[in-house]
Amino acid sequence: MSDQWSVLVVDDEPPIRAELRYLLEQDERIGRVDEAGGATQAVEKILGSRPDVLFLDIQMPGTSGIKLAETLSNLKTPPVVVFVTAFAEYAATAFELDAVDYVLKPVETKRLEKALDKVATAMSARTPAPVAERVMRLSVERGGKRAFIPVSDIVYIEAKADYSSVITAAGSYLVNESISSLERRLAPQGFMRVHRSFLVNLDDVHDVEVSRSGLMDLKVERVDASVPVSRRRASEVKVRLGLA
């Protein structure tokens, strides 16, 4: 099956890797299964073959599974992680790292099936939606008159109740559409929601300022303005701008 998952099992004990590999290979959703005996080897294989799913032991010599998962979270598309360990006390930490499940050793077939069901849900959520029709122009209003402006002219958009204010170098316009709707439509053109009230054309961001309190502002040169970034979205913004 072309949609089968590639899996990497990371554990410092070969017998445990072999047993888990055997169990995984019984499931028709699994394609290729590879193994790594520690974090260093795991990183090499993850960067080399980009597995879809990682079954990860927590306590290993050297770098722990927790540390490895933290590192992988910096990847653009990290593998889906399932922790497999003998220590139940790490469960809370595992889920804080967005692991889809936490399976205790020795792994039982029925429990593994439940974990794979959760993997399937996570993988489905990652499947790209059908490519939407590219929006070239936006219908706007100004002074009571309707007009069409090229999307490339838009610097940023600010939410105004249930409508939006579109900011361009030529001035501002009103759009009878919510910022959430515009976010969905304009994301393929490089627009990003950086705040609950702001959607920015990332091509227009020429500088970033960080206050003493840690809050970010994006400087958009075409209109000589600053756009605030919410704390919740700051990490993602940094990644998109190549700052992280």
Q: Within the chain, which residue ranges are assigned CATH 2.40.50.1020?
A: 137-240
pTM score > 0.95 for this model? no
CATH architecture designation of domain 137-240: Beta Barrel (2.40)
pLDDT score for 1: 38
How far is 7 from 51, CA to CA, in rounded Å?
Answer: 5
CATH class of 5-126: alpha beta
CATH 3.40.50.2300 domain range(s) in the chain: 5-126
What sign has the CA pseudo-torsion 29, 32, 35, 39?
negative
DSSP states along 146-160: EEEEEGGGEEEEEEE
pLDDT digits (tens, 9 = 90+) for 134-183: 788 999 999 889 999 999 999 999 998 779 999 999 999 999 999 988 99
Across the beta sheet with 198-201, the strand order is 145-150, 137-142, 171-175, 163-168, 154-160, 198-201, 191-195
Q: Is the pLDDT of residue 2 over 50?
A: no
Tens of pLDDT, residues 95-118 = 677 788 989 999 999 999 999 999
